[in-house]
Amino acid sequence: MNGWGRVNAALPAAALVLVVLAEVVSGRGQVVLGLAVIAPLVAATSLSRQTTVAYSAAAFIVGTLLGLYEQQYTFETAVAQSVRLLALVLAGVLAVTSCELRLRRERQVTRLGAEAAATRAVVRTSESLQRALLGAAPQVPGLEVAARYLPGDQGAQVGGDWYDAFPLPDGRTMLVIGDVAGHDAPAAATMAQTRGMLRALAGSGHTSPAELLTALDCVLAGLSLDTLLTVTAVTVDVRGGAADVPLRWSNAGHPPPILVHADGGAELLERTPDRLLGAMSAGSPRTEHETVLRRGDLLMLYTDGLVERRGMTLDDGTAWLLRALSRIGGEQVDRVCDGLLGALGSRGDDDIALLAIRNPR
């Protein structure tokens, strides 16, 4: 017990002693025995229930003895003395009740504190797991790249959104943005599986976006995964150091990429998207599109959490994103990503993954 604890434990006893001393010093006729009630009330503020009960009993005994000392137990004063003793009993009951309520609140606060600490630990672990699953920040030789992941506000801190960038055997680079339905550990596990399968398929020769997603369809059909996946796969070709970087992409039900031109205009690369991964017959061919990333242009890949917000339609969210990118798209890629997330104001219900790529001027 520390110094303050010892002081708190001694205060009720000191109160009883002071009451007795005051009664003795003031002399008979100066009835202060009612002040004995202070002891259990003081005990109720900081000591245990058992100690408060003990001080309540002690206050009653002290009050009774002081009544004898004051010669209060006579026929004339019997009613008044009985009322005083009853008040001591009621005060003791009140003190014990107050003590019990205090202890209950303290237990609740302790429990909530432990739960909060456990939740913070889970959140930190979950965030570390999600970062580990996403891997190191993507890099593409010759291009400026930035990526961000922001979990939704459900508290799970893990989910199915991901980004990736990796070299292909022919020297091009594959960029991927994807979303597995769900905001929990199973979604994160499916995301990790899909991310690994995409890399393995690309490394085995499926180097065009449409071909890669078609091959992934076949693999997913064999695994019988009962979940929904959307993916956009993009190849960038920086071989030869040309000013214009060819882009080819295929979209499996994912929000379309946005191309921010060097002059500030933002273009939604909206084409008729193929169906979600796993929703097509195995081997059904997917379509592929192409454009170029000119000097100063920026390509933004994102998941639907960025444009599907509470109280906002998908069209409104996409229009907001186009306006925001027209305004800040010329800044450094890190600032563009941070600016978009900062403009949201708060976390939404869904996770958000961003992958921004710029062809330097």
Beta bridge partners of 274: 252
Beta bridge partners of 249: 234, 289
pLDDT of residue 186: 76
Amino acid making up residue 31: V
Specify the 3-state DSSP secondary structure of 70: coil
- CA pair distance 252, 255, nearest whole angstrom: 9
Query: What integer best gives the mean pLDDT of the chain?
Result: 81
pLDDT of residue 217: 85
Question: Which value, to the nearest 10 degrees, does the dihedral of the CA atoms of residues 298, 301, 304, 309 take?
Answer: -30
Read off the pLDDT of residues 25-53 as tens digits, 9 standing for 90 and up. Answer: 665 554 555 667 777 777 888 888 888 88
Note whether 289 and 250 are within 8 A (CB).
yes
Residue that is written with structure tokens 């009050």 in the block: 63
pLDDT of residue 250: 95
Report which DSSP code applies to 31. Answer: -
Read off the pLDDT of residues 122-162 as tens digits, 9 standing for 90 and up. Answer: 556 556 666 666 666 778 888 999 999 887 765 555 678 88
The phi and psi torsions of 112 (rounded to 5 degrees) equal -65, -35
Enter the tokens of residue 187: 């979604």
- Residue 229's H or E segment, with its range, is strand 229-236
Classify strands 144-150 and 245-252 as parallel, antiparallel or unpaired.
Answer: unpaired
Note whether 336 and 298 are within 8 A (CB).
yes
Count of Cβ atoms closer than 10 Å to residue 45 Cβ: 14
Note whether 188 and 159 are within 8 A (CB).
yes
Note whether 319 and 302 are within 8 A (CB).
no
Enter the tokens of residue 111: 């429990």
Report which DSSP code applies to 270. Answer: -
Q: Which of 79-83, 107-111, 249-253, 313-317 has the lowest average pLDDT?
A: 79-83
User: How many angstroms from the chain centroid is the CA of residue 284?
Assistant: 40
Confidence of residue 74 (pLDDT cuts 50, 70, 90): low
Mean pLDDT is highest, among 142-156, 245-259, 304-318, for: 245-259
Q: Which pTM was predicted? A: 0.66
Rg (CA), the chain: 36
Enter the tokens of residue 148: 């961000």
- CA pair distance 325, 304, nearest whole angstrom: 16
Confidence of residue 200 (pLDDT cuts 50, 70, 90): very high
Mean pLDDT is highest, among 6-15, 265-274, 280-289, for: 265-274
